[in-house]
């Protein structure tokens, strides 16, 4: 008899072989739970590589078609489109955002034609790419962001994006009341079936740095009067609950890695899907460390995505979506 043997509990038993580990893994990543952000320009003839995001391109309409096809073949859940207008197309109110032929609306038509039913084409609904001052809203005479005037712009932008064929609008501007305003505008125009993804808890983050290069945006000032303070956890939850009450179909936490606590809070509290955005700076950090040989790139990427899923995200937006999906499928 060896009843007094020590230790009595041996959790390592389930870690002994790859097959056992695979069997008991709590968190899995499916390609359908990944969404690829894509940047599109209408003023270039060849795709432009982004210096601060190695491997990521600004697309032409032709290379967008290829990227959408690749995303569909990799089994991704969707693509999220960002328009990158020429500087000459930017103005104080972001007119390009509501121009049916503006870069984002034109790109949406192209992506929709290519995607069919294979994946969900989504669009960023925000003014910062289209304004010459780089803010997510229109400015009041004193230079502050005019929340309610911005909502009028978002309403018009939403309707144009829906007309262009977007199936899911990503509201990333962090204006108060934006979900209710956009929902009402869509419904009034007969777009009851177009869904709203609310960037409910979007923090004023240093990790958006490389994105500014990606969309060619130079920001005057900062976004701290509308994006959340990284110090605040309850406020992030409050924003998510408000967005659900206003009719959001999905809520997002952004960035991802530095906000896993919030992701856990939100996923425990809301009855809608919860997504997370692994942003440009999160991508750039790992690429830079890997390029220096300081980190095992593939393992680090998978570990971050697993952590984001484990914390509560149903779906993750990531610039590595196609690569990860292919490797999950053993391609
Ligand atoms: C706003 C928007 C931003 C990002 C996505 N949508 C920039 C910002 O709010 O400053 C950042 C995404 C990333 O960094 O990957 N339209």
Structural domain spans, the chain = 30-328
pLDDT, tens only, 276-296: 999 999 999 999 999 999 999
What are the residues facing 80 on neighbouring strands?
37, 122
Query: Using 50, 70 and 90 to split pLDDT, how confident is the model at 213?
Result: confident
Residue 174 Cα: closest atom of ligand 1: 9
Residue 94 is predicted with a pLDDT of: 97
pLDDT, tens only, 222-242: 999 999 999 999 999 999 999
Of all protein residues, the one whose alpha carbon is nearest to atom 2 of ligand 1 is 172
126 pocket-lining for ligand 1 (C-beta < 6 Å): yes
* Residue 1 in this model has a pLDDT that exceeds 60: no
Burial class (CB in 10 A: 0-12, 13-18, 19+), 260: middle
* Residue 4 in this model has a pLDDT that exceeds 80: no
pLDDT, tens only, 125-179: 999 999 999 999 999 999 999 999 999 999 999 999 999 999 999 999 999 999 9
Q: Other C-beta atoms within 10 Å of 136: how many?
A: 26
Of all protein residues, the one whose alpha carbon is nearest to atom 6 of ligand 1 is 172
Query: How far is ligand 1, taken at its centre, from the CA of residue 4, in Å?
Result: 59
d(CA 278, CA 315): 10
ipTM summary value: 0.94
Options 3.40.50.280, 1.10.3720.10, 3.20.20.70, 3.30.70.20; CATH for 30-328 is 3.20.20.70
């Amino acid at each position: 008899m060896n009843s007094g043997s020590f230790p009595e509990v041996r959790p390592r038993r389930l870690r002994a072989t790859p097959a056992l580990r695979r069997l008991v893994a709590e968190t899995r990543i499916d390609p359908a739970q990944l969404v690829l952000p894509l940047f599109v320009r209408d003023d270039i003839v060849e795709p432009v590589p982004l210096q601060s995001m190695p491997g990521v391109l600004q697309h032409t309409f032709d290379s967008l078609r290829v990227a959408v096809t690749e995303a569909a073949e990799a089994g991704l859940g969707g693509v999220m489109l960002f328009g990158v207008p020429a500087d000459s197309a930017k103005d104080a109110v972001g007119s390009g955002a509501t121009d049916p032929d503006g870069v984002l609306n034109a790109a949406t038509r192209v992506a929709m034609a290519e995607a069919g039913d294979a994946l969900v084409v989504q669009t960023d609904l925000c003014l910062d790419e289209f304004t010459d001052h780089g803010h997510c809203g229109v400015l009041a005479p004193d230079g502050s962001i005019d929340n309610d005037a911005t909502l009028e712009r978002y309403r018009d932008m939403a309707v144009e994006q829906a007309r262009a064929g977007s199936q899911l609008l990503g509201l990333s501007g962090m204006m108060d009341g934006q979900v209710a305003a956009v929902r009402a505008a869509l419904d009034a125009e007969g777009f009851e079936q177009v869904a709203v993804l609310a960037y409910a808890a979007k923090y004023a983050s240093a990790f958006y740095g490389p994105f500014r290069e990606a969309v060619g945006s130079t920001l005057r000032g900062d976004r701290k009067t509308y994006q959340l303070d990284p110090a605040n956890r309850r406020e992030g939850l409050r924003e998510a609950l408000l967005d659900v009450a206003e009719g959001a179909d999905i809520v997002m936490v952004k960035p991802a890695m530095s906000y896993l606590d919030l992701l856990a809070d939100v996923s425990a509290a809301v009855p809608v899907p919860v997504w997370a955005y692994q942003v440009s700076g999160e991508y750039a950090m790992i690429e830079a460390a890997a390029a220096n040989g300081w980190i095992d790139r593939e393992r680090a990427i998978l570990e971050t995505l697993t952590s984001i899923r484990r914390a509560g995200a149903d779906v993750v937006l990531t610039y590595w979506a196609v690569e990860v999906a292919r490797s999950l499928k053993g391609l």
